[in-house]
Amino acid sequence: MTTDCDIWLPGVQQTLSPNFDDRPPQTTVDLLVIHNISLPPGRFGGEAVEAFFQNRLDPSAHPYFAEIAHLRVSAHLLVRRDGHAQQFVPLNRRAWHAGASCFEGRERCNDFSIGIELEGTDDQPFSDAQYDRLVELTRAIQARYPAITRDRITGHSDIAPGRKTDPGPCFDWQRYLSRL
């Protein structure tokens, strides 16, 4: 359940996920985690990611869906290939995007991070529209959470090495970070 105090970004489609909860008391949000997702793997568009984040992914629609439909995950934001952004979890709440993770000795990154999913894969370049929207979203997030500095923006692979590979080698960190 959300409240009037929850933080939704203006100009971003709101699509509430049930997969979130409160952050621990007195938590400073000071990390931004970049991910990639495509469902089924390597396919873009469609409603599968949205359904996944809302616990309504049909396990019979694709063999891969049968493997993951039971998982309860979310991200704060999703940026589609065309730059369209959806927000699934208020920024002040804990989305379930990082799993077992550690950043600079702090475990449970979901507690203190915001997660942005880019529609994509490890082995395909991201679109110009995605970089433009990601920069815009990052700036808006940094305005609300000034502790998220450039050195506190990381990839899922960096906080869960050996377990996760996203956003992958095709994500152009220099292109993104140089625009912030």
117 is catalytic: yes
Catalytic residue among 47, 50, 67, 117: 117
What's the per-residue H, E or C state across the chain? CCCCCCCCCCCCEECCCCCEECCCCCCCCCEEEEEEECCCCCCCCCCHHHHHHCCCCCCCCCHHHHHHCCCCCCCCEEECCCCCEEECCCCCCEECCCCCCEECCEECHHHHEEEEEEECCCCCCCCHHHHHHHHHHHHHHHHHCCCCCHHHEEEHHHHCCCCCCCCCCCCCHHHHHCCC
**Residues with active-site annotation:** 117
